[in-house]
Amino acid sequence: MGGIGKMWRDILTIFHRHIEANPQSYPTVKITEAHKENGNLVVSILGAESDKFINGMMRMLAAYASIVNEETGEVLRKFTDIR
């Protein structure tokens, strides 16, 4: 997960630990890459194509990452400003 800020790395680590702690629920899910592209967090994941929970979590993580400072987690704008 190189090339991303500490806060983004921390939230991805928590998400990764959830996946690892629940292999019965996510036997094939693997986070393969995380990087910053055009100021946005981009996460590549395998094995979750039809998993609504994992896909929802990915959307939530991307939305959260888009409103906080990637290093500090400071909120940069209101969540309601996301389109």
* Structural domain contains residue 28: yes
pLDDT in tens, 11-21: 999 999 999 99
pLDDT, mean of residues 48-68: 91
* Structural domain contains residue 14: yes
**What's the total number of domains in the chain?**
1
Spell out the residues 6+ positions from residue 10 whose beta carbon is closer than 8 angstroms to its own.
73
What is this structure's pTM?
0.81
pLDDT reported for residue 2: 60
Q: Are 34 and 8 in contact (CB under 8 A)?
A: yes
* Structural domain contains residue 80: no
* Proportion of the chain above pLDDT 70, given as a percent: 92
* Structural domain contains residue 61: yes
